[in-house]
Structure 1
Amino acid sequence: MSSSETGLPAGWEVRRSNTKNLPYYFHPETKDSRWEPPAGTDPTQLKEYMAQNHSSKGISASTFNQGKGSDRIRCAHLLVKHRDSRRPASWREAKITRSYEEARTQIDEYDRMIKQEGRSLSDLATTESDCSSARKGGDLGFFGRGDMQKEFEDAAFKLEEGQISAVVSTASGLHLIQRFGPPGTAGSSRAD
């Protein structure tokens, strides 16, 4: 795969992790690997490449069996980081410089697009989320109590299946969270 396809600097390529089943960035010559894109990446080109080649378009029914009969839930999220986030970098931007207020304006716009335009959180997360889970439509898989940051976890566990949260602020940034239900569950309910 050439860097012209991906927007990555020369020598870098996108590979898929066997353990996390997520794409990551790898340089075969130096053996350097990372979850965040290397310096010199063209974020617009990488965004297009990842949306075409590494996005998830829906949730397979078989993965729901992993969480049945347990106190674990499955969620997706859309994350907007700001310069005061604990790691102000993402696959989209090597260095995030936007203020908290700018990040809030941005996530409020995504929230509006979901509410008023009927956009799905998963589709928006694929191209707009600052989390590496964007490659899977924001899908974080199953998690239990104590696995996530407290603010995120508290909001996620309060959601009904299919519901999308109001904006949640954590040390990572600002999130919209959707809790998944059984296959076929409508995802348009809101928890404001």
Structure 2
Amino acid sequence: MSSWEVRFSNSRQLPYFYNAGTGESVWEAPAGLSNEQIKALPGAHHLGGGGGASSGGGGGGAPSKVRASHLLIKHRDSRRPSSWKETNITRSPQEAESILREHMNALGSNPTTEQFGQLASIHSDCSSAQKGGDLGFFSRGQMQKPFEDAAFGLPVGGLSGVVQTDSGTHVIMRTG
């Protein structure tokens, strides 16, 4: 019997997993739990997009929230051409895309969340790099449209192609 439950962090506005038996808290789903087991945990409604009666809308289809990580390469035309890595980013949009494609090639065709997170923590120009690129759960209307469309269009574990937004050049991995 699992001691895991889903709780909601008021400071981060994100769900997390809490093990009542050990007192351990983690942001990612605990290893060894299937999707069905996760959906059955106490507090699973905090995860959004679950199958409960309050999930809203008609029968099935698109989730109301997704969780995603990304790797962002900014360029001189980005909305804010600076980052935690570089004060003044001068690369061209084409150079940013080339760098991103190199990172995507390094990941291979079927990267794990951990592999993606490691790459994002080193190379992403977004402050989410501190969390392996994790942006947490978000609903439609919270992200720039091209980013949102790509994230909501991916299966869990799926990796996008190159996505251009006002922030720069992204690759997105849907994690929930």
- The TM-score range, normalised by the shorter chain, is 0.5 to 0.7
1:67 match: 47
Give the alignment's TM-score, normalised by structure 2. Answer: 0.66
Give the percent of matched residue pairs that are identical in Structure 1 and Structure 2. Answer: 51
How far residue 67 of structure 1 moved from its aligned partner, in angstroms, is: 2.0
Separation in structure 1 between the aligned mates of residue 73 and residue 153 of structure 2, nearest angstrom: 21
How far residue 104 of structure 1 moved from its aligned partner, in angstroms, is: 1.0
Structure 2 residue 87 is the aligned partner of structure 1 residue 94 = yes
How far residue 19 of structure 1 moved from its aligned partner, in angstroms, is: 3.8
User: Whose helix fraction is larger, Structure 1's or Structure 2's?
Assistant: 1
- After superposition, residues 49-60 of structure 1 pair within 5 angstroms as 59-60=27-28
Separation in structure 2 between the aligned mates of residue 106 and residue 59 of structure 1, nearest angstrom: 29
**Gap change, CA 1:59 and 1:123, over 3 Å in 2:** farther
8 Å contact from structure 1 (residues 107, 174) kept in 2: yes
Structure 2 residue 72 is the aligned partner of structure 1 residue 79 = yes
SS of 2:173 mapped into structure 1: strand
Amino acid at match of 2:105: R
- After superposition, residues 1-192 of structure 1 pair within 5 angstroms as 19-20=11-12, 59-61=27-29, 65=44, 66-68=46-48, 69=50, 70=55, 71-115=64-108, 120-181=115-176
SS of 1:93 mapped into structure 2: coil
Separation in structure 2 between the aligned mates of residue 20 and residue 92 of structure 1, nearest angstrom: 24
Amino acid at match of 1:92: K
Separation in structure 2 between the aligned mates of residue 19 and residue 125 of structure 1, nearest angstrom: 23
How many residues are paired up?
128
**Gap change, CA 1:109 and 1:143, over 3 Å in 2:** same
SS of 1:94 mapped into structure 2: coil
Give the alignment's TM-score, normalised by structure 1. Answer: 0.61
What is the alpha-carbon root mean square deviation over aligned residues?
2.5
How far residue 117 of structure 1 moved from its aligned partner, in angstroms, is: 9.5
Write the deviation string for residues 67-121 of structure 1: whole angstroms up to 9, x where unpaired.
Answer: 2335111000000000000000000001101111111110010010011695822
**Gap change, CA 1:165 and 1:116, over 3 Å in 2:** closer
SS of 2:137 mapped into structure 1: strand
In structure 2, runs of 5+ residues without a counterpart are: 1-9, 14-25, 31-37, 56-63
